[in-house]
Amino acid sequence: MSTWKTMSKKLLRRLILAGVLAVLVTITLVVFAVFYGWSQFAGSLPELDGWHRDHPASEFTADDEADDYDFDDYLAQEERVFAELDAFIDGPWKGREAGEVCRFNPDSICHPSHHGERDWNRSLVREAAQPKGGVLMIHGLSDSPYAFRGLSERFFAEGYTVMLLRVPGHGTCPGALAQVEWEDWTAAVRVAARDLRERLPEGAPMMVAGFSNGGALTVNYTIESIEDGELPVPDALVLISPMIGITPLAEITRYHDWIAGVSGDDRAHWSAVNAAIDPYKYSSWPMNASVQAFRMTQRVEKGLARLEKEGRMTEFPPVHASVSAIDATVRLSDLVDGLYGRLPDSGSELLIFDVNRATWTQNLVKHDYEKAFRPVFEDGAHAYAATLVSNRTTGTAQLVEKRREEGQVGERELGFSWPPGLFSLAHAALPFTSDDPLYGPNDDGELPLPLGDLRLRGEAGVLRISDGQILRLRYNPFYDYMEEGIVDWLGGR
């Protein structure tokens, strides 16, 4: 019997050892496959330019935040940042602008100086003479304050003091986005919010508006202000395509430093290296952007869960969010469940633009996206009102408003239709007017830089711009409807 026990123990040890070795071999093979695939992908990217490798050294960081540091200090520091950017353009980058179509060539139509009365890459404060309130506006990832050009002008016309924040790492060169951390973003938002509150008369409401990653920063600031006790709590939030949740796969990109270090190829720090054709948005995408965005959304989710557990979501201000039912950047389900599912009954609104359900789209569009928002209209037990802009019937491009409020669903004709050829809106399209001078449809062919209506044909995989820059919708044909809804909602606060 003892011999049998001895043999059994030896066999068990051998099986355990074999299992451990199998796991180690599997892990090694997976690591090697990831390293090999990532390295091959990096090697397929174009060579990096100066605007990928360099960045202004004076950029604001979380360490700059202090009690006596206000938004005027932020603007002064921003001046130094752009002076350093100009020094790069006039110095080491000069002659490397990759031709006439380049944002970093002062003579190019893509340079910001050729578009309007001001550089919309920079922060801006417009103070109303007698403000009835104030709005802090926070753009999205790789974007600039230009994203809120249209809505900020409407708010100012309505009598609000408007503050557009250039989030650190943005508006200059993509190399800056490769260095920034989420803590820098949140610190800048705190500086701006404190300053805006001080500019407003006592009792005047302060709102915060955020687009995409700016939506995550808006919700994060609100959580911080509720828990901090000294930061001014917003009276209302306006969110457009808010980045409340993104795919967890974004976290994998945090290994880019290791891949680049082992392979010796700095392109491993990048997921896209494209021609810099957009004056107000980076065309190249550093891995760090995805890492910081994922960490930001994780922080938001934990903060919301913490407020809910402590019974403090009743302190959360009302929210108005506008989203596209189809969004390749953010997850609508995280907004519906993670944020709206926790909101108190305080007058919040959710606006969803459905896919075009005209007959020609039926066999082209994947309809699994519906599961993210269908429960909003099928279940009446919600503490917020929800509106779906959708085709009146399948087969017609005419649109109706289907609104659920207090358990009842009503329908209203809107008097406008889907423009020909559009099957949906898109994440980046919502905040831009249909006559935007950069991203508009260019129906008359007069836009000097028609980034929203590029009509390029040829072989795939040759251009130094992504397919998304040609296919993806860049403007909102229903912008006026959305804007009126936001302004009316804010007016009722």
The contacts of residue 400 (CB under 8 Å, 6+ apart) are 389, 390, 391, 392, 411, 412, 413, 414
Report residue 350 CA to chain centroid gap: 18
Please report the pLDDT score of residue 398 as a whole number.
Answer: 95
Share of the chain above pLDDT 70, in %: 92
Taking the alpha carbons at both ends of the chain, their separation in whole angstroms is 83
Residue type at position 68: D
Q: What is the pLDDT of residue 32?
A: 64
pLDDT for residue 341 is more than 80: yes
Confidence of residue 96 (pLDDT cuts 50, 70, 90): low
Kindly tell me if the per-residue pLDDT of 136 is higher than 90: yes
Max mean pLDDT range (26-30, 93-97, 211-215, 445-449): 211-215
pLDDT at 179: 96
Which position has the higher pLDDT, 405 or 20?
A: 405
Compute CA 364 distance to the chain's CA centroid, rounded to the nearest angstrom: 26
The burial of 143, by beta-carbon neighbours within 10 Å (0-12 exposed, 13-18 middle, 19 or more buried), is given as: buried
Please check the confidence at residue 286 and state whether its pLDDT lies above 90: yes
Number of neighbouring beta carbons within 10 Å of residue 258: 12
pLDDT band at 151 (very low <50, low <70, confident <90, very high): very high
Rounded to an integer, what distance in angstroms lies between the CA atom of residue 138 and that of residue 244?
Answer: 14
The mean-pLDDT minimum among 325-334, 342-351, 437-446, 452-461 falls in 452-461
431 close to 476: Cβ distance less than 8 angstroms = yes
Q: What angle do CA 85, 90, 92 make, to 5 degrees?
A: 85
Task: Tokens 């009842």: give the residue.
Answer: 408
Residue 281 has pLDDT above 90, yes or no: yes
Across 16-20, 189-193, 275-279, 352-356, the highest mean pLDDT is recorded for: 189-193
pLDDT for position 242 = 97
pLDDT at residue 65, rounded to an integer: 97
CA dist., res. 250 & res. 331, Å (int) = 13
pTM: 0.92
Pairwise pLDDT comparison (126 vs 372), residue with the higher score: 126
Looking at residue 17, what is its pLDDT? 76
What is the arithmetic mean of pLDDT over 415-419?
95
The answer on pLDDT for 264 being more than 80 is yes
Instruction: Determine which helix (DSSP H) or strand (DSSP E) holds 222, and give its type and residue range.
Output: helix 213-228
Residue 259 predicted with pLDDT over 80:
no
Assess whether pLDDT exceeds 90 at residue 99. no
> Which is higher by pLDDT, 360 or 485?
485
pLDDT above 90 for 33: no
**What is the residue-averaged pLDDT of the chain?**
89
pLDDT digits 0-9 by tens, 422-474: 999 999 999 999 999 999 998 777 778 888 888 777 877 777 777 777 778 99
pLDDT above 90 covers what percent of the chain?
66
**Does pLDDT of 41 surpass 90?**
no
How far is residue 474's CA from residue 466's CA, in Å, rounded to a whole number? 14
pLDDT at 134: 98
**Predicted pLDDT of residue 34:** 62
